[in-house]
Amino acid sequence: MTQLSFLALVLLACCFLYSKPSTGLEIQSFLRNAVDFDGSSTSGAEWSYGCTDSPNGPSHWGELSPEWSKCSQGGLQSPIDIKTYEAEDNAALGPLNFVYDNDPQYENASLVYDGHNVLVKRGGGSLVINGVNYSSIQVEVHSPSEHTFNGKHYPLELRVVHQSSAGDYASVTALLEYDKEDNVMFVQYFPFLKDLQQDKALHLPVMVWTPEYDNHHYYLYKGSLTTPPCSENVTWIVLKQIYTVSPQQVEVLTSFLKTPSNRPTQPLNGRKVFSYDDAFEATMSS
């Protein structure tokens, strides 16, 4: 079999697999309003990850609602493929300046399934970039990863989304590779997925932010939300450190979601991806 016909087969299989279950889902979804990033209704349209070319799949998001036009007409869309060798070193960025508060008042987080993604909502964190204070609002997971490094997808992407008082976003995201050990962050809430119902927030007794982030090595670029309305007001921080997750944990998520939950990578359109490393800073000052 030629490579091309194999690719065609894979694509066909993909469309077949995703068009079948989505027929039922689409009818249900049709009756529901779409939920936006904050879980509030904005538009009667419904989108899916599905196949890129399915009627409400990623390549059509921009046509489904006037409010989502950025999804097809924007120039700063996310996710992107990060070509690590093309990123521009920028020592001025400095280490990430974040504080996550594990005070008991923040332990009561909630777990939400919005029909597309599993989200953990909890406050109690802040990230300061260029003097702007962004407060943490939620944690998201996507499988496979949305961002890629030199074209490579990882099994999972984990991110903490922050928002400033002006409404702009800052997302700190990490790519996760398989490992035998469970990821401790997910141990806190993946077991609750079996009880999770759409649009019914589930109380989580404990949700400790354990961002053992490597805040000294990251990429930064200007992009968008990776779901409609694809607003282009997100500062993206993609950690260079690859974290780990067990195949069993990824299976818990993917069997809950049933479809992949990643938007395809978007064109850079001349945007710069900056790179920050403490080692670079040390070299510069020596």
- Select from 57-65, 72-80, 166-174, 248-256 the region that touches ligand NAG (CB under 6 A): 166-174
Nearer to ligand NAG, 58 or 229 (CB): 229
Smallest separation, CB 231 to ligand NAG (Å): 3
107 lies in the binding site for ligand NAG (CB under 6 A): yes
Nearer to ligand NAG, 43 or 126 (CB): 126
168 near ligand NAG, judged by CB under 6 A? yes
Nearer to ligand NAG, 226 or 249 (CB): 226
Nearer to ligand NAG, 63 or 168 (CB): 168
Task: Specify whether the CB–CB gap between 271 and 221 falls below 8 A.
Answer: yes
One residue of 15, 25, 91, 128 binding ligand NAG per CB under 6 A: 128
Distance (Å, rounded) from C-alpha 239 to C-alpha 128? 16
Residue the block writes with tokens 């204070």: 133
Going 230 to 226 to 53 to 18, the CA torsion angle's sign is: negative
3-class SS letters over 194-228: HHCEECECEEECCCCCCCCCCCCEEEEEEECCCCC
For residue 196, give Cα distances in angstroms to 34, 118, 149, 228, 254: 18, 9, 32, 23, 14
Contact letters for ligand NAG, residues 227-266 (x by CB under 6 A): --x-x-x---------------------------------
- Least distance to ligand NAG, CB of residue 142, Å: 19
**DSSP letter assigned to residue 45:** -
Q: Which of 126, 192, 244, 252 binds ligand NAG (CB under 6 A)?
A: 126
Q: How far is the CB of 141 from ligand NAG (least distance, A)?
A: 21
Q: Is 135 in the site for ligand NAG (CB under 6 A)?
A: yes
d(CA 60, CA 48): 10
Nearest to residue 252, comparing CAs of 166, 191, 162?
191
> Of all residues in this chain, which one has the CB nearest to ligand NAG in the complex?
167
Tokens representing 64 are: 């489904």
Contact between 104 and ligand NAG (CB under 6 A)?
yes
CB 112 within 8 A of CB 207: no
Q: Which stretch binds ligand NAG (CB under 6 A): 139-147, 164-172, 175-183, 194-202?
A: 164-172
Looking at the chain, which runs of residues are DSSP E strands?
81-82, 88-89, 97-100, 109-113, 118-121, 125-129, 132-142, 148-149, 156-164, 169-178, 202-204, 217-223, 234-239, 243-245, 274-277
**Is 130 a residue that touches ligand NAG (CB under 6 A)?**
no
Which chain residues interact with ligand NAG by CB under 6 A?
104-105, 107-108, 126, 128, 133, 135, 166-168, 203, 229, 231, 233
